[in-house]
Chain A
Amino acid sequence: MSEFAVEMRDVVKEFQTPEGGHINAVDRVSLQINDGEFFSLLGSSGCGKTTSLRMIAGFEWPTQGEILIHGHPMGHIPPFQRPVNTVFQSYALFQHMTVAQNVAFGLEMEKAAKDEIEHRVHHALEMVQLTGMDRRKPKQLSGGQQQRVALARALVKVPDVLLLDEPLGALDLKLRKEMQLELKALQQKVGITFIYVTHDQEEALTMSDRIAVMSKGKVMQVGTPVEIYERPNCRFVADFIGESNFFAGVVKSVDHEFASVYVPILNSEIRGMALDGIVAGENVIVSVRPEKVRASEQAALNENSFQGRITKSVYIGSESHVIVDINGTILKVWEQNKISTLEPGAYHLPGSEVWLTLFPENTLILRDE
C-alpha cells in the first residue's frame, strides 16, 4: 500500500468550450495527499478544484495523467467501484427516501446484512447528531440537518477517502462556522482522509492540515495554513489568501535569507525575507500584509520606515483599517484597537501624519511572475 491516500500525477482535464475550442480545466496537477489528512483544494470558481475532486470520485476521467488511490491506479474505474464517497454541494439527498433510507442506501448497495445496516445507520446518525430524525424526509429538515444527512450517508460507508464539494456553501455564516469546527472534529475522530473543496479561504485555514491553492487549473502552492499565509510563494497566493500590499522592485543585494529591493515608486530600498533562489538584479514583488505594518505618530527612522498621511480610517470594532498615502503610493494598514477609549485620535484620524515601519522579517520578496 502506498503511503499516499490519493495521488494525482500530471493530471490534465480538457473540456470543450461551446465555441469549439479547448480549455484545460485542470492543467498538469500533481498532488500527494497523505493518509488521514484534512486536505483542502482552495481557489476561486473555475480554478479546477471541483473538476479535480470529480476526477478522484470518478465522475470525470482525466484527459492525461493518472490518479491513484492508496497506490492503485484508478484509470476508468466507475464511481461505484471506487473506495471514495462524496458529500455534494447540493447534498443530492434522495427526496423520496427517509433520512435512514438515505443513509442505508450505500450499505444496501454493498449488500450488507439487514441488522448490520440498521446498526451502522443508527451509529452514523448518532455521529452527526441526528438521532431520532431517521424517519423524516429530507424536505422536513433544515439546511444544516440535510447537510448532516449527506455527511452521514457518505461516512457510513467508511470510505478510504471522503470528498467534500463545498458542503457548507449553502449554510448561513454562523452555522457554517459551527459546522467547520464540527467537521474537523469529526475528521479527527474517524481518521478518514478528507479532501475538501472550497473557495472560502477562512474555511480552508480553519480546518485543513494542508491546503492546495489553485488558479486557472494549476496548483500554485501546497502547504499548511501557516505556510500558505505566512510564506506565500507568489503574488497570487499572497493576494488570494488574506490581503497584502504589493510593490514592484529590483533586487539590489541578497544577504542569506534577506534581500534589499529598490522600489521606484517609493524611491527607496526595502529589506525583506527573500524567496529561495532570488538573485540580485531580478525583478521582484515586495509583499507585506496590512496587519504586519506598524503605524506610529512618532518619527521612526529605522530601515523600511516611511512617512505618510492618513487619507482614510475605517473603524470596524476590533481593528481600524487605515489607508496611508506615501508620496502618492497607497498602503493598507490594519491596527488592532487594543485600548478602549472614546477619544477619536486613538483611531488614526484622516489627515494626520504617520510613520509606517515594514519590519524585514514580516516583509516578503516574491518572484515577479
Chain B
Amino acid sequence: MLKRLRENKSAQGALLVSPTMMFMVGLLIIPLVLTLVISFGRRDPDGQVIYDFTLDNYRRLTGFTTDCASGAAFCFNDLYLQILWRSLSLAFRSTLVVILLAYPLAYYIARAQPRRRNTLLFLVLIPLWTNFVIRIYAWIMILRTQGVLNGLVGAILTPVLPLLSGALNPLLASMHLPLVATTFTPLEILYTPTAVLIGMVYEFLPFMILPIFTSLEKIDSSLYEAAADLGANAFRTFLRVTLPLSMPGVVAGTILVFIPVMGTFVVSDILGGKQYILIGNLIQRQFLDARDPTFGSAASLILMVLTLVVTFFYTRRFGFGEEIVPA
C-alpha cells in the first residue's frame, strides 16, 4: 500500500490536497448548494423555509411585484436595484481611491532602504492586529460632529475664517461668487456615504499596498537605468516602465479589495447609519431581522454573480495579477 503510494505521484498529490478539498467541499460547496436550494424556496409566517421551486425571491430583487397597494396587476419598486447599484458604485469608488492612496505608499516603501522597508511594511500591517469592528468604531470618534477631525479643522479654521472672509468677501460678492463663511460649522461626515467610503478605504488599504509593493520590488533597478539611458526622464520612466510592470500588483490588489467591499456590511452599518443600505446589509437583515432566509439567499447569490461578472471581465482584460508572460 505504502509502496504503491510512493510510486504514484498523482495519488500523492490527491492525498496532500485532500484536507483542503474536504474543507472546501464541507464549508464552501455544500453551503453554496444549500443557499441555491433555499433561494428557490418560500418562507412560512414563522420564518421557516418551505422547499419549493419559485423565482419569487429573484423577482422581488428586480423590483417587480404582483402584490401592489394600488391594485394594479404588477408594479415596480427599484429599492433593491438601487441597493445593488449603490454597492457596485461604492465598490468601484473605494477600489479607485485605495489604488490612488496605496500606489505612492507602496512605491515609497519599495524604494526605501531594506531595513527601513521592513519597518514600513510592519507599520502597514499593524492595524490588522486590532479587531476590524473596533477599528471601524474608532472612526466614529474621528468623524462625528464633535470628533477629532472637526476639532482639528475647527482649531485651524476658527481664527482664520473671520480674517479670510473680511478680506475676500467684498471681492467675492462683487463677482457674485459664493462667500467665505465667517464662522466654522462642523463638517457632517459621520452617517453619510462619505463616511462609508472612508471606512472602506481605510479597511482595505493594506490589501492593495502589499501586492503593489511586491510587484514594484520585483522590478530590477537596471530597468530604471536602462530607461534613463535611453532618454526617459523620471516621469516618462514611471509611465512607460514602472507603471506597466507594477500592473500585476494593482490587478491583484483590485481583486483583493473589490470583492470584500462588495459584500461587507459592518462598515456601512457602523459609519453609514441605518438608512445607508448596501447589499451586504440587505442580506444580513434578511437572515437576522426579517427572518427571510429565502430572500437573503437569493440576494447572496445575486451578489456573488455580480462580483463574479465584474471580476471576470476585469481579469479577462488585465489577467489575475500574474507575471507578464507571453502567450
Contacts and interface: CB of A to CB of B under 8 A. Distances in A.
B223 A79 contact: no
Given A80-B231, A157-B230, A95 B225 contact: no
A106 B220 contact: no
Given A90-B222, A94-B223, A95-B245, A78 B228 contact: yes
B13 interface: no
A309 B324 CA distance: 64
Nearest to B245: A96
Nearest to B221: A92
Interface stretch (B123-131, B232-240, B279-287): B232-240
A88 interface: yes
Most chain A Cβ neighbours within 10 Å, of B226, B230, B240 = B230
A210 interface: no
Interface in A82-116: 84-86, 88-90, 92-96, 105-106, 109-110
Contact of B325 (A105, A106, A139): A139
B241 interface: yes
A239 to B, nearest CB: 32
A83 to B, nearest CB: 10
Contacts of B223: 92, 94
B326 interface: yes
B229 A85 contact: yes
B228 A80 contact: yes
Contacts of B245: 94-96
Contact of A86 (B225, B233, B236, B325): B225
Q: Contact size class for B? A: 20 to 34
Of the listed residues A78, A79, A93, A137, the one surrounded by the most CB atoms of chain B closer than 10 A to its CB is A79
B246 to A, nearest CB: 10
Given A79-B225, A79-B229, A86-B226, A92 B220 contact: yes
A86 B227 CA distance: 10
A85 B326 contact: no
Interface string B190-229: 0000000000000000000000000000001011011111
A80 B225 CA distance: 9
B228 A136 contact: no
Contact of A140 (B220, B230, B240, B326): B326
A88 B222 CA distance: 8
A80 B326 contact: no
Given A95-B324, A96-B245, A139-B326, A80 B232 contact: yes
B230 to A, nearest CB: 4
Nearest to B243: A96
B244 interface: yes
A350 B233 CA distance: 66
A24 to B, nearest CB: 23
A59 interface: yes
A321 interface: no
Interface in A41-73: 57-59
Nearest to B325: A139
A88 B230 contact: no
Contacts of B226: 86, 88, 92-94, 153
A153 B326 contact: no
A58 B223 CA distance: 15
A59 B224 CA distance: 10
A95 B326 CA distance: 9
A145 B324 CA distance: 19
Given A136-B326, A137-B326, A140-B326, A92 B225 contact: yes
Nearest to A85: B229
A110 to B, nearest CB: 6
Nearest to A163: B229
A85 B222 contact: no
Contact of A110 (B231, B241, B244, B326): B231
Interface string B237-279: 0001100110000000000000000000000000000000000
B229 to A, nearest CB: 5
A59 B227 contact: no
A340 to B, nearest CB: 50
Contacts of A153: 226, 230
Nearest to A138: B326
A80 B240 contact: no
Interface string B291-309: 0000000000000000000
A34 to B, nearest CB: 23
A203 B222 CA distance: 24
Contacts of A92: 220, 222-223, 225-226
Interface of B: 220, 222-223, 225-233, 236, 240-241, 244-245, 324-326
24 contacts: A57-B229, A59-B225, A59-B228, A80-B228, A80-B230, A80-B231, A80-B232, A80-B233, A81-B231, A84-B229, A85-B230, A88-B222, A88-B226, A92-B220, A92-B222, A92-B223, A94-B223, A94-B245, A95-B245, A95-B324, A109-B230, A110-B231, A136-B326, A153-B230
Interface of A: 57-59, 78-81, 84-86, 88-90, 92-96, 105-106, 109-110, 136-137, 139-140, 153-154, 157
Given A95-B324, A157-B231, 10 more contacts: A79-B225, A80-B228, A81-B231, A92-B220, A92-B222, A93-B226, A109-B230, A110-B231, A153-B226, A154-B230
